[in-house]
Amino acid sequence: MKFLGLFNYWVFAILLVIGLYALITKHNLVKKIMALAIFQSAVFLFFITMSKIEGGTAPIVQAGVSGQVFSNPLPQVLILTAIVVGISTTALGLAIVVRLYEEYGTIEDDEILALDRKA
């Protein structure tokens, strides 16, 4: 049971390193942005896992019902913010990629580096 209870955390760890691996090794900039999204999603999973309480329900008070167990609202709030931060980063990153493609004609970072060196 302990193992099953920690399974979420392991998936978090694995997703995190999959994203990190792709970030390090991939040269395609769009791919890097996707990898960044996986990387960040892993952290979302981590926080939301933390918020779950056994037998709990979403923290919305229903009129007339008492004695409910609510899952922890705080990590959820944090992740709402983090998701927004993530999409903002993605948008900005993509805009930079588009501009890079217009300037260099490629979105592979090793080719961009080679062009920079030549200059």
Partner 1 sequence: MLADHLPALQVALPLLTAPLVILLRTGFLAWLVALLASLCSLGLAMLLTATVLETGTQHYAVGGWLPPMGIGLTVDGLSALVLLLITGASSLALAGGRLSLRKDIDNRRAPMFYGAWLISMAGLCGIAVAGDAFNVFVFMEISALATYVLIAGGRDRRALSAVFKYLIIGTIGATFYLIGVGFLYMMTGTLNFADIALRLDEVTETRPIVIAAGFITIGLALKAAIFPLHVWLPRAYTYAPNAATVFIAACSTKVVIYVLLRFNFEVFHGNLPGHTDLFGVFIIPLALAGIVLASAIAIFQTNLKTMLAFSSVAQIGYIALAAGLTSEAGLMAALLHMFNHALAKGTLFLCVVAFVLTSGSASMDSLRGIGKRMPWTMAAFLVAGLSLVGVPGTAGFISKWYLVVAVIGWDGWGAALVAAIVISSLMAVVYLWRFVELAYYSEPPGGEVVPMEVSRPLRCLIWFAALANIYFGLFPQLPLALARSGTETLLGGLF
Partner 2 sequence: MTTLLIGVFLLLLLVITAVAIVRSTDLFSGVMLSGIFSLLMALNFFLLDAADVALTEAAVGAGVATVLLLAGLKLTPSTEARARPVRPIAIIVVAIIALLMIYASFGQPSLGDPTAPAQTHVAPWYIENTPELVDIPNIVTAVLASYRGYDTLGEVFVVLTAGIGVMFLLGGGRGKPFSRLHTDPPQGLSHYLIPKVIARMLAPFILLFALFIQFHGEYSPGGGFQAGAIFVAGMILYALVRGEDKALAVIPPHVLLWMSAGGALLYGSVGLLGIAMGGQFLEYSVLADNPVTGQHIGIIVIELGVGLTVTGVLLSIFHAFAARD
Which 76-115 positions form the footprint of partner 2 (CB under 8 A)? 76-81, 83-92, 94-99, 101-102, 106-108, 111
Q: How far apart are CA 90 and CA 84, in angstroms?
A: 10
Q: How far apart are CA 85 and CA 115, in angstroms?
A: 32
Confirm or reject binding of residue 50 to partner 2 (CB under 8 A): yes
Question: Residue 105 region, left (φ>0) first, then alpha (ψ -120 to 50), else beta?
Answer: left
3-state class (DSSP) for residue 32: helix
State the binding partner of 114 from partner 1, partner 2, none, CB within 5 to 8 A by kind.
none
Angle between helix 73-104 and helix 29-51 axes, rounded to 10 deg: 180
> Can you give the binding site for partner 1, defined by CB under 8 A?
16, 20, 23, 29, 32, 36, 39-40, 43, 46-47, 50, 74-75, 78, 81-82, 85, 88-89, 92-93, 96-97, 99-100, 103-104, 109, 112-113, 116, 119
